[in-house]
Amino acid sequence: MQECTQECPQECPQECPQEAFRAQRSRLVGLLGAGSQEGFEQVLDRLLAHDVLSWEDYEGLRGPGQPLSHAARRLLDTVGSKGAWGCEQLLAAVREAQADGRAPEPRGRWDPRAPQPARELRCHRPALVRRLHGHVEGALDLAQARGLVSPYECDEIRLPIFTAAQRARRLLDLAAVKANGLAAFLLQHAEALPAPLALSVEDAACQKFTAKLRSTVSAQARFLSSYDGAESLCLEDVYTETALELGAEAGGPGAATLGLEALFSAGASRNADADTVLVVGEAGSGKTTLLQRLHLLWASGRAFREFLLVFPFSCRQLQRLAGPLSVRALLFEHCCWPDLGRQAVFQFLLAHPHRVLLTFDGFDEFPHRFTDEAAAERHCSPTDPTSVQSLLFNLLQGNLLKDARKLLTSRPDAVSAALRRHLRAELLLRGFSEDGIERYLRKRHREPGVADRLVRLLRAASALHGLCHRPVFAWMVSKCHRELLLQAGGSPRTTTDMYLLILQHFLLRAGPPDAAPHGPGPGLLRARLPALLHLGRLALRGLGASCYVFSAAQLQAAGVDGADVSLGFLVPAKSSVAPAGPPPLEFLHITFQCFFAAFYLVLGADVRPSWLRHLFNGRPPTGSSLLARLLPALCVRGPPGEEEEEEEGEEEEEGGVEAWLRRAEPHNLQMTAAFLAGLLSGEHRGLLAACQASQKALLRRRACARRCLARSLRRHFCAIPPALPGEAKSVHALPGFLWLVRSLHELREERLARRAARGLDVGHLKLTFCGVGPAECAALAFVLRHLRRPVALQLDHNAVGDVGVEQLLPCLAVCKAL
């Protein structure tokens, strides 16, 4: 049962217990349904002991597989029909269960020689469950040796899916129906067992482990790994609240904005019986930082006190774990090692799963997709090893550590319908609000006047302002604040502009090589071209292998040497366990990895222009659904093999650029495609031409990217079904559409935008729930302003905001409704 997140139900002196009970029904359902299975079962124990529930009632209520909230409602119905005394008992039982592990052993002692042992077992059930907790193994061995239980019955009780308390209950249940002396044996055996400590966590090993875990987590979370290694910012100093919303489907049309502390108490909006809460957000929207904040608040005891143990993991880290692994090994060997009483700590953890939280950051970086087939591979034993994939999927489904909360973060595209079925709640991270951007800049720049000037600059440059709603861009603005404040020409307008600015910032800071100029510009890039291409090749190869952390051997294979690393784009990978050798490296952020991959595709000598089609490929996967056909392959890929077959006969370097492009995750390809378009845009032609020996090669790549982008858009538009008679032609655009439009905007080619608009022959463009922010508004306006016929643009359930509306101004003339 959750600790103190809701008020304990109180008896009201004026009301009769039944009325009070009825008045509190919804609160009681919430309390029982949102709590843990263990809390619910404790309530049942007490009601059974006090004869409020008959044995039949009890059997019916604890039936497996039903969501806790259903069981809670049925319990209230059953008890409600038993009169005032029953209601009183239920309220008392709920209060007692809320005290949970903090309560001393229930009062009252059983008589080991009671004439009716089965009756005695039932009357003292709560106390017996506590006493037998953790001792069921021994009791079973003895009972089997005396012929009181069969090996089959023992195996049934020992199933690893049961917690220690559930095993004790199952043993008592068995004794209740066996008239062979098992009940009398248990009464005597339990009498001889040591009384449990009033608070099991007071066990020295558990206490020591909790303290160690808190200090480990705190050390990991205290500093914001602010990328370049040159600065380490205290999270406390810069953390700025981001907008977190409960999915609209939970609470009707409007989405509620939540504080971080309400993450778990917001209630189950999807499946009340599930353990996993998902936070989705685009790249750079602040998911990792949000988790870091949660970890720090917990470690310092300021929030999330309902959890005694919090284990942070990143999927990037998990995918590097080779070989089978058990839950125990995962928690202890890959997060925090108990120096004392490993078994006791693990038992505690299994017995109190509702006091445990596991966080998994970056599910989009986990190479295995959560499909129904993958989820069907069941693994329920916390001590037996299995593959990392099966471990993670079974944890998320609750087959492992049932009732322990799991918090998962992901980019939206990696979340499958199969995963959604196992979610308790889904929340959307929007990034910074408008005030948030300003607060962040003021926290970052405390020197007089700087933050004011930056805020003024953003207000004047709405495209840049729009980008800053993503915290990663706000970080870049703050990093390049000198260049931005000094810049005489316009400020960055697109994502690529911003990444080129920060690229030059890093190159200048690293100190130019002898031949390089001392300021930004083509000369600076040319002087560093070999290093940038090494990094680009590493980035692209990584995307192709869903690899985001690089070993020394991988760096060497891509030709990355110490000097290249010293530029600052690669940083030591975060890991909770210190590696034996030199730490593996990762890009500052996944967006940087995509940017470098795009850089390589534009300037790499071994890249054929025709390969760029894989970035914008509009070919629908064979035999796909209508949905998949409407989506360009940019967002839905066919099963591996299909594309290979189609491409058969084409020359391809095994493991070379084309193979990497084919294998990369769609969401990374989308980002890379947008950067590629931006790098090939007219605005940056001069900069890149200075690096490129052959102008012709650059032009051919641009022509190919243009062609593929136009073809994908055409396909997308052709797939729009015709209008129904008498209705306007309507289309609900899918995220793939937005990425194509974003790429077009990065390419900044008016002619192509005009042609795209001509193809979009609809009266109603629906973009609800598409993750449209101000940056997407700018891209939409870039295309839609060329429409010849007015369109009704529906943008509900996005985070457009005032800055987004400002971005839409150029196309408002053709929007008949917004």
Instruction: Name the minimum Å distance from CB 290 to ligand ATP.
Output: 6
For residues 390 and 404, give the distance between their C-alpha atoms in angstroms, rounded to a whole number.
Answer: 17
**Total site size for ligand ATP, rule CB under 6 A:** 22
Binding mask 552-591 for ligand ATP (x = CB under 6 A): -------------------------------------xx-
Instruction: Name the minimum Å distance from CB 477 to ligand ATP.
Output: 11
Instruction: Name the minimum Å distance from CB 21 to ligand ATP.
Output: 44
User: What number of other Cβ atoms are within 10 A of residue 582's Cβ?
Assistant: 10
| 5 Cβ contact list (under 8 Å, min separation 6) | 34, 264, 265, 306
For position 440 contacting ligand ATP by CB under 6 A, the verdict is yes
Q: Which stretch binds ligand ATP (CB under 6 A): 458-466, 469-477, 553-561, 578-586?
A: 469-477
Based on CB atoms, which residue is closest to ligand ATP, 279 or 630?
Answer: 279
Instruction: Name the minimum Å distance from CB 305 to ligand ATP.
Output: 22
Closest-approach residue to ligand ATP (CB) = 286
338 three-class SS? coil
**Binding-site member from 283, 392, 400, 803 for ligand ATP (CB under 6 A):** 283
For residues 815 and 762, give the distance between their C-alpha atoms in angstroms, rounded to a whole number.
Answer: 12
Based on CB atoms, which residue is closest to ligand ATP, 33 or 362?
Answer: 362
User: What number of other Cβ atoms are within 10 A of residue 770's Cβ?
Assistant: 18
Instruction: Name the minimum Å distance from CB 432 to ligand ATP.
Output: 7
**Binding-site member from 124, 287, 355, 465 for ligand ATP (CB under 6 A):** 287
Q: Determine contact, residues 420/426, Cβ cutoff 8 Å.
A: yes
Q: Determine contact, residues 391/400, Cβ cutoff 8 Å.
A: yes
For residues 322 and 329, give the distance between their C-alpha atoms in angstroms, rounded to a whole number.
Answer: 12
Q: Give the burial string for 304-316 (b: 16+ CB within 10 Å, else e).
A: bebbbbbbbbbbb
The pair of structure tokens assigned to 594 is: 């995509």
For position 284 contacting ligand ATP by CB under 6 A, the verdict is yes
| 116 Cβ contact list (under 8 Å, min separation 6) | none
Amino acid type, 770: C
**Binding-site member from 21, 209, 475, 600 for ligand ATP (CB under 6 A):** 475
Based on CB atoms, which residue is closest to ligand ATP, 441 or 500?
Answer: 441
Instruction: Name the minimum Å distance from CB 229 to ligand ATP.
Output: 13
Based on CB atoms, which residue is closest to ligand ATP, 366 or 475?
Answer: 475
For position 58 contacting ligand ATP by CB under 6 A, the verdict is no
- What contacts 24+ positions apart, CB below 8 Å, involve 735-738? 735/412, 735/413, 735/635, 735/770, 735/771, 736/631, 736/632, 736/634, 736/635, 736/636, 736/670, 738/767, 738/770, 738/771, 738/772, 738/776, 738/779, 738/780
For position 239 contacting ligand ATP by CB under 6 A, the verdict is yes
**Binding-site member from 296, 392, 468, 472 for ligand ATP (CB under 6 A):** 472
Instruction: Name the minimum Å distance from CB 242 to ligand ATP.
Output: 5
For position 238 contacting ligand ATP by CB under 6 A, the verdict is yes
Based on CB atoms, which residue is closest to ligand ATP, 142 or 545?
Answer: 545
**Binding-site member from 97, 224, 419, 500 for ligand ATP (CB under 6 A):** 224
For residues 158 and 152, give the distance between their C-alpha atoms in angstroms, rounded to a whole number.
Answer: 10
Instruction: Name the minimum Å distance from CB 665 to ligand ATP.
Output: 12
Based on CB atoms, which residue is closest to ligand ATP, 156 or 241?
Answer: 241
Identify the sign of the CA torsion 747, 587, 545, 392: negative
Q: Which stretch binds ligand ATP (CB under 6 A): 1-9, 41-49, 232-240, 703-711?
A: 232-240
For position 411 contacting ligand ATP by CB under 6 A, the verdict is yes
Instruction: Name the minimum Å distance from CB 473 to ligand ATP.
Output: 8
Q: Which stretch binds ligand ATP (CB under 6 A): 19-27, 239-247, 336-344, 635-643?
A: 239-247
For residues 253 and 232, give the distance between their C-alpha atoms in angstroms, rounded to a whole number.
Answer: 42
Whats the size of the chain, residue-wise?
818
Instruction: Name the minimum Å distance from CB 443 to ligand ATP.
Output: 8
Amino acid type, 686: G
Q: Determine contact, residues 433/245, Cβ cutoff 8 Å.
A: no
Based on CB atoms, which residue is closest to ligand ATP, 362 or 774?
Answer: 362
Residues 703-762 that bind ligand ATP (CB under 6 A): none
For residues 395 and 401, give the distance between their C-alpha atoms in angstroms, rounded to a whole number.
Answer: 6
For residues 128 and 386, give the distance between their C-alpha atoms in angstroms, rounded to a whole number.
Answer: 34
Based on CB atoms, which residue is closest to ligand ATP, 131 or 406?
Answer: 406
| 537 Cβ contact list (under 8 Å, min separation 6) | 558, 559, 600, 604
For position 353 contacting ligand ATP by CB under 6 A, the verdict is no
The residue among 542, 49, 110 whose CA lies nearest residue 319 is 542
DSSP state for residue 435 in the 8-state scheme = H
Whole-number Cα distances in Å, 494 to 232, 692, 737, 742, 747: 28, 23, 18, 9, 10
For position 242 contacting ligand ATP by CB under 6 A, the verdict is yes
How do strand 223-224 and strand 549-550 relate by DSSP bridges? unpaired
Based on CB atoms, which residue is closest to ligand ATP, 240 or 326?
Answer: 240
Based on CB atoms, which residue is closest to ligand ATP, 427 or 659?
Answer: 427
**Binding-site member from 9, 126, 196, 281 for ligand ATP (CB under 6 A):** 281
Q: Determine contact, residues 787/811, Cβ cutoff 8 Å.
A: yes
For position 471 contacting ligand ATP by CB under 6 A, the verdict is yes
Based on CB atoms, which residue is closest to ligand ATP, 207 or 433?
Answer: 433
Based on CB atoms, which residue is closest to ligand ATP, 224 or 318?
Answer: 224
**Binding-site member from 285, 319, 394, 593 for ligand ATP (CB under 6 A):** 285
Instruction: Name the minimum Å distance from CB 295 to ligand ATP.
Output: 12
Based on CB atoms, which residue is closest to ligand ATP, 209 or 370?
Answer: 370
Amino acid type, 167: R
Instruction: Name the minimum Å distance from CB 666 to ligand ATP.
Output: 15
For position 288 contacting ligand ATP by CB under 6 A, the verdict is yes
Given the rule CB under 6 A, which residues bind ligand ATP? Answer: 224, 226, 238-240, 242, 281, 283-289, 362, 411, 440, 471-472, 475, 589-590
